[in-house]
Amino acid sequence: MKQLILSMALLISATGMLFAQNDDDATPVVNRMRMNKADQTFKANANLLNLKAFVVLKEGRMILELAAPDDFESFSNIDSLLSVFMKDIAFYKDSLDAYPTSGFRIDYVLNPDYDFKKIRFIRHPQQGSTFLNKSGTMSRLKFDQDTIHILINKSRPGIGRKKDVPCQIPYTIEATFIVGNYYDIDNIIKDSILHPIIDTLAKISRDQRPRHDKHPWFMNRHPLSLVYNPYYTGAFGKKIVSHYSYLLQDEYSIFDKKYHPTHWKAIKGDVGVGVIRNTLTPMCELGYQFNRQIWPEDFITHDALRISASPYCFFANNTDGSYTVNDNWFLNVSWGTLYGKPQHGWPGLENSLGFGYLVSQKGNYFKNGTFKLYTNLRYDRNGITIVPEIIFSDRCRQVYPGVTVKFF
């Protein structure tokens, strides 16, 4: 009678989602309001997952999906957690073994606030029959893998409608094991490698992130994916491959995506012409630019801090009829945002404010204590930039406008 009841339970659960690798969690945005109660219980909320780690194991793969680096602590005792998991499902062993060629998904939900666990079994019947012929002896093979999901329900402080009223945001973190058979978990436990793997991933996720990661919203804008093969002595073994600003769907897609760092530096140069009072003068600019990515989905739009030097070259006649060049050098600092497309309410592709100070003076075009304020109106990413300026000369006794047109 007991075997019949267990078999019926497995049969009923098979009407749900069939296999973990085809799970809807691959969709970036999950509308939980449209999920049924079972999916809300046995699925992590993808909207709150900002850190994903892929690990190669001897017996298969492990995938960790977390909200923040601190969540690694919940899996620090993962060996003990898996040992308890295997004891809890031992009661169902006979029913699972009744389908030797099927693939199973096993969901195991924990909540630190309660002493009970929730377990779900989903059977995936093998498509067709696969056999091995060896010396005339036929053996039936299992090709579909088993998937074990270990989910832990957690909560973290949130921002409530009233500042004085505490708010807790519930979320779920998940460890997924993809193995040939569910009982391969016993071999993974015997290897005693999971604990050092978790420690390594936790350390890398903290050490390699930008140092200004001090705010909760930063992880939401810059999620992190890690790929790690602890058995490989090459690049993957010596250094975990980490990618910011998007969550990989699998460890292989890391080779398909064009990676761009969140911070990078560049040398910028321009040539152009300026109008200073009523004089047309050539100029050039050479600078060093620090760039900071803003949005994960748009590498073109980014903040930029630019430090540059730019001379204005004025030509004058000597008494002997020859020409001399009076070059007046400004040291400039500007900060702003570069856009990938025109913005509403602002002309051009750059919104920045700059300050320039005269550090080298020749001729009588500028007087001591000269500085300028300017903005860059870039009309093409690699083309023309118009720079309106206000110049303060002779210690602010003279104020007059200027304009520069830069190319490249």
Q: Check residue 382 and give its pLDDT.
A: 66
Give pLDDT tens digits for 188-200. 999 889 999 999 9
Q: Residue 6, SS3?
A: helix
Eight-state DSSP code of residue 186: H
**Please, which pLDDT band fits residue 295 given cuts at 50, 70 and 90?**
low
Measure the CA–CA gap between 122 and 107, rounded to whole angstroms: 8
Higher per-residue confidence, 245 vs 281 = 281
Give pLDDT tens digits for 308-351. 999 998 888 777 777 888 899 999 999 998 887 777 777 778 88
**Please, which pLDDT band fits residue 102 given cuts at 50, 70 and 90?**
confident
Residues 249 and 285 in one domain: no
Residues 64 and 173 in one domain: yes
Q: Which of 210, 239, 255 finishes a domain?
A: 255
Residues 128 and 21 in one domain: yes
Q: Is the pLDDT of residue 279 over 90?
A: no
Residues 103 and 240 in one domain: yes
**Please, which pLDDT band fits residue 403 given cuts at 50, 70 and 90?**
very high
**Please, which pLDDT band fits residue 63 given cuts at 50, 70 and 90?**
very high
Residues 322 and 239 in one domain: no
Give pLDDT tens digits for 382-394. 678 899 999 999 8
Residues 251 and 269 in one domain: no
Q: Check residue 20 and give its pLDDT.
A: 38
Residues 159 and 307 in one domain: no
Q: Torsion-angle region of residue 208: left (phi > 0), alpha (psi -120 to 50) or beta?
A: alpha
Eight-state DSSP code of residue 99: S
Q: Check residue 67 and give its pLDDT.
A: 87
Eight-state DSSP code of residue 69: G
Q: Check residue 1 and give its pLDDT.
A: 45
Q: Which domain holds residue 272?
A: 263-407
Residues 48 and 140 in one domain: yes
Q: Is the pLDDT of residue 352 over 70?
A: yes
Higher per-residue confidence, 3 vs 303 = 303
Least confident of 3-17, 173-187, 361-375: 3-17
Overall domain count for the chain: 2
Higher per-residue confidence, 215 vs 349 = 349
Higher per-residue confidence, 205 vs 79 = 79
Q: Which of 213, 235, 255 finishes a domain?
A: 255
Q: Check residue 137 and give its pLDDT.
A: 77
Residues 141 and 17 in one domain: yes
Q: Check residue 263 and give its pLDDT.
A: 77
Residues 136 and 154 in one domain: yes
Residues 106 and 171 in one domain: yes
Q: Is the pLDDT of residue 84 over 90?
A: yes
Dihedral of CA 221/227/230/236: which sign? Answer: negative
Averaged pLDDT, 157-180: 79
Q: Which of 229, 255, 281 finishes a domain?
A: 255
Helix ranges (H only) for 231-290 are: 235-238
Q: Check residue 45 and give its pLDDT.
A: 72
Closest CA to 262 of 224, 288, 227: 224
Q: Is the pLDDT of residue 399 over 80?
A: yes
Measure the CA–CA gap between 37 and 305, rounded to whole angstroms: 50
Give me the DSSP letters along 339-364.
Answer: -SSPBTTB-SSEEEEEEEEEEE--SS
Residues 153 and 229 in one domain: yes
